[in-house]
């Protein structure tokens, strides 16, 4: 047993104990090849793991109980017990118990992340209702992590092999969205997105598409004024600040035509404007990444799935991709820091490829429909 390991240690919170979190963890790490890439530390309890392991016939999964978080077993699945008491696990039920122990797991995991005992964090799904308490009053992981790490602002960034889409607003009622679409809010999200694309994804000059809020991106002010009063001016301001932002684009035509493929990322105005096309196009392998944090956190791009919990029906693809994304971002951040500390080396690597800037045309068009 050693804490010396050249592969990153990845902390994993178990999510709602009545959801599919533990099932997708077990299924993922039943493939031992992943242990060649990282060392997982699951924050939960061995009894919880054993409960769900019995629901998955013939699974090849083993783990080590971890008593000292500073002495992680490399190339093995580590279980750090966050509680010792007996817990009534009821797969598929949304209740107070599921939320209580989801928060216990999350708090232990972020404590280890902040202390540097693990290098990255993957959070399994929680239900936003049953986690609420006087000690946890957040609408999800993202605002909690923003508060915990003292970040000025963060960005919910959905990632897959074929697209990255960030949000100006997150879990906001539809009737309230428009009042949050301000120049200041959009510019801040664009700044976070640009910096993340550079630092976390290795894109020197990222191109960012900005979606409109209203149908047809407002049709020059005929269908809402947010594009004319807020979005267009801030795109112009962003470009004066060396952010290659383009738009605003009409969301329906933008995704239907595959225009997202021409950009390094997209900034959407609200939750369903992003998540509906993203989940449709990412084919179950999308990952939620919190850009703007000092730490690296991802999560699978789905919820607790109570309807299939405990039935051996959960698809682990998105969770597996979360692992790969976390590892890649950690690697990219390390390379970025090295390049920043030795700028001459970075120049020798990239100066020739960037000798001539690519011409980018802004082909914003409003669609009929």
pLDDT tens digits along 298-355: 999 999 999 999 999 999 999 999 999 999 999 999 999 888 877 665 555 554 445 4
Q: Which helix (H) or strand (E) holds 268?
A: strand 265-268
Continuous H helices in 230-316: 232-240, 251-256, 271-281
Q: Cα separation of 91 and 52, whole Å?
A: 9
**Range with the poorest average pLDDT among 173-177, 260-264, 364-368:** 364-368
CA distance 304 to 326: 21
Contact 359, 243 (CB under 8 A): no
Q: Are residues 203 and 247 in the same domain?
A: yes
Q: Are residues 27 and 93 in the same domain?
A: yes
Name the pairing type of β-strands 155-159 and 287-291. Answer: antiparallel
Rounded Cα distance between 126 and 106, Å, is 10
Q: What is the mean pLDDT of residues 3-18?
A: 86
The alpha carbons of the chain give a radius of gyration, in whole angstroms, of 21
* 72-87: average pLDDT: 95
- Rounded to whole angstroms, the Cα distance separating 2 from 18 reads 33
Q: Are residues 202 and 171 both part of a single domain? A: yes
How many independent structural domains does the chain possess? 2
Contact 49, 65 (CB under 8 A): no
Residue 364 has pLDDT above 80, yes or no: no
Q: What is the pLDDT of residue 284?
A: 80
Domain that residue 234 falls in: 153-292
| Strand, coil or helix: 65 | strand
Is 320 part of any domain?
A: no
Residue 343 lies in a domain: no
Inter-axis angle of helices 183-199 and 232-240, nearest 10: 40
Q: What is the pLDDT of residues 126-158, one digit of tens each?
A: 999 999 999 999 989 999 999 999 999 999 999
Sign for the pseudo-dihedral over CA of 149, 154, 156, 162: negative
CATH assignment at residue 38: 3.40.718.10
Q: What is the reported pTM?
A: 0.89
């Amino acid at each position: 047993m050693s804490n010396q390991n050249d592969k990153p240690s990845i902390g994993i919170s178990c999510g709602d104990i009545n959801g599919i979190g533990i099932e997708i963890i077990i299924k993922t790490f039943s493939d031992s090849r992943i242990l060649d890439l990282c060392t997982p530390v699951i924050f939960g309890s061995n009894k919880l793991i054993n409960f769900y392991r019995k629901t998955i016939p013939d699974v090849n999964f083993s783990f080590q109980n971890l008593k000292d978080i500073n002495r992680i077993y490399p190339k093995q699945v580590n279980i750090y017990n966050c509680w010792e008491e007996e817990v009534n696990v009821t797969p598929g039920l949304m209740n107070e118990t599921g939320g209580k122990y989801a928060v216990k797991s999350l708090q232990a995991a972020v404590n280890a992340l902040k202390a540097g005992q693990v290098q990255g964090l993957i959070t399994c799904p929680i239900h936003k209702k049953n986690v609420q308490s006087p000690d946890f009053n957040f609408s999800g992981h993202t605002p909690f992590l923003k508060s915990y790490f003292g970040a000025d602002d963060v960005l919910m960034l959905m990632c897959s092999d074929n697209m990255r889409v960030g949000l100006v607003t997150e879990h906001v009622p539809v009737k309230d969205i428009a009042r949050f679409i301000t120049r200041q809010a959009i510019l801040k999200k664009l700044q976070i997105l640009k910096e993340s694309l550079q630092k976390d994804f290795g894109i020197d000059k990222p191109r960012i598409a900005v979606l409109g809020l209203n149908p047809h991106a407002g049709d020059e002010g005929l269908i809402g004024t947010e594009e004319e009063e807020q979005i267009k001016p801030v795109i112009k301001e962003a470009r004066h600040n060396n952010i290659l932002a383009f738009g605003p684009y009409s969301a329906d035509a933008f995704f239907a035509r595959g225009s997202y493929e021409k950009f390094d990322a997209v900034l959407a105005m609200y939750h369903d404007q992003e998540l509906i096309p993203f989940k449709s196009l990412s084919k179950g392998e999308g990952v939620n990444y919190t850009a703007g944090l000092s730490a690296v956190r991802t999560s699978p791009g789905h919820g607790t799935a109570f309807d299939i919990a405990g039935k051996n029906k959960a698809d682990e693809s998105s969770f597996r991709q979360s692992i790969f994304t976390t590892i890649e971002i950690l690697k990219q951040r390390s390379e970025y820091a090295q390049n920043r500390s030795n700028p001459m080396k970075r120049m020798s690597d990239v100066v020739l490829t960037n000798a001539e800037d690519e011409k980018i045309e802004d082909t914003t068009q409003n669609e009929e429909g």
